[in-house]
Chain A
Amino acid sequence: MTTIEDIIKNTYILTFDHEADYDWLNIVEVFIGSEDIASDVVKQKLINHAESKEKLIYWRDLFFMEIAEQENALETNNLFEKIIAHPLFIENKKFIEQLPKATTKLGRELLIDTLINNEKADILVPDDILEVALKKKSRDDLRADFAEWNKEGNLSKKGFNYIKYFVAACLIGIMATVGYNILYDNSYDFDGSQFVSTTEKVIIRGNGLGFVGDKGESPITTQIVDYNKATLADQSNSSKLTINSYSLVNKKLRLVLADSPNSIEIIEFEQNQFYVKVNSDFYKIETSNSFKKLLKLNDKKSIEKLEQILFENE
């Protein structure tokens, strides 16, 4: 069973990022009874570190939120009774009670996004085929047709798979001969294209990395070409563009992506070490006049650090 002491201790670590050994229950008493926790915690010498008032208030709020979330798992005693009568507990309990329902709309959207966004989406029968079939066939025959089409789809997929493996094998061979970091010549007119979206992005930097962000610094011009739209409109564009590639020169980042991303961020991790986050994936980028392949970052620790930088700068 979780105790109040566990919660005050854990929320301390959540707030201050380090462990400590204090008289936790006395601190809880201050949280409940004091009107100025910052000075009372210091006066009573309840913590050793000189923490800012904001952080102490943040800690107290987090404590009441955790208590509200874990209320049913806590054992009841005098201290617990005092806590649940506190206005901050009541405020947080109200918030926690609303959360399951308030997250339903977004949860449903995300769930469907996950289900739709899959490589087998082509199992869906295209609209025009369905329409023609409906005109020609009786409704009862249609279900049998679906089964037939699926079978055909599976067979052609199998055939296609061999081709894919063959192409992949050839590519590996080429990569081994030529080298992995291939440069591409994207001769596409980025500035005159309707399929390019241009935005100005400020570089996001970590606060704790030892260098201070220059607030007067000019942002990076980011141009993203929607490959699918561009090639759909004009097939010849496929020879001018290499999907999932980038160039970075003179404060201009050009990206060739399959479609327009929902979000994009540029992060400077260490001096002159840049990353771009496209939707939820990170890619390392470096200055290059020619286009280079976007290589997805898979190192969990680096991803976590980059996410932290983004979180701190939100």
Chain B
Amino acid sequence: MKRNELYELRHDKTKLKSIYLECKPKCFGFMVKCFGATNLDDTKMFTIFNDAVIVLYEKTKDPKFELTSSIQVYLNSVCRNMALNEFKKEKKLFKTTDQDLENMDYDNQVTDMLEEVAPENPYEKAIQKAFNIMKEKGGNCAEILAMFWYQKASIKDIALKFSYSNPANAKVQKAKCQKRLKDIALQLVKI
């Protein structure tokens, strides 16, 4: 069952959206049950849940990743880890008792959290800035490159998404966008 869920997620592009919708209320309920509504407001829960879905999405790209529980329990567990991390950052002490932990739908073997993507060197920083410049200028370049490099989408998928009449045209556009991104980034590094 768990393997099926993961298989579907890896092979069906619409699955992530249905998981997002199905798991959201339950994750919110789980977080309220775990930490109480006074410790986590809706905005924080929303951010944590979104980040947990990103963790799941990025994990599915790793062929070695295996689910040890259902997707709902996995998301609950990641939400819990990240909420605890938030409390730690805010220096909030959060106490749990054995009774609190009973019947909680999470897996304490899951330690996954969202990896920080702070740029490590000036060039990487410049590329991120170049992305922002591209995005502000409009057009599809930033989205095309994010689809290709982050989502690992094929040129065919990109052609479909942006209504190119054939994959060759999408390939031309991707190459031009990539070249433009590099040119902007190099200019920024020089500055």
Contacts and interface: CB of A to CB of B under 8 A. Distances in A.
Interface residues of B, number: 53
A18 interface: no
B interface: dominant SS: helix
Say which size band chain A's interface belongs to. 35 or more
Contact of A115 (B16, B131, B140, B141): B16
A95 interface: yes
A76 B130 CA distance: 33
Contact of B20 (A115, A139, A140, A265): A115
Given A115-B53, A120-B21, A139-B33, A104 B127 contact: no
Interface in B130-145: 131, 135, 137-143, 145
Interface stretch (B78-86, B90-98, B163-171): B163-171
Contacts of B65: none
Contacts of B176: 14, 311
A54 interface: no
B179 A102 contact: no
Given A65-B182, A118-B17, A143-B26, A100 B50 contact: no
Given A65-B175, A115-B16, A310-B138, A102 B169 contact: no
13 contacts: A62-B175, A62-B179, A99-B127, A100-B149, A102-B119, A103-B145, A115-B50, A118-B21, A124-B24, A125-B28, A142-B33, A300-B163, A311-B176
B173 interface: yes
Interface string A161-203: 0000000000000000000000000000000000000000000
A98 B32 contact: no
Contacts of A304: 163-165, 169
Contacts of B171: 14
A139 B127 contact: no
B37 A134 contact: yes
A61 to B, nearest CB: 6
Nearest to A114: B17
A interface: dominant SS: helix
Given A66-B175, A143-B33, A280-B140, A100 B165 contact: no
A142 B33 CA distance: 9
Contact of B32 (A112, A134, A263, A280): A134
Nearest to A110: B146
Interface string A81-120: 0000000000010110011111111111011101110101
Interface string B106-135: 000000000001010001100110010001
A106 B135 contact: yes
A176 to B, nearest CB: 29
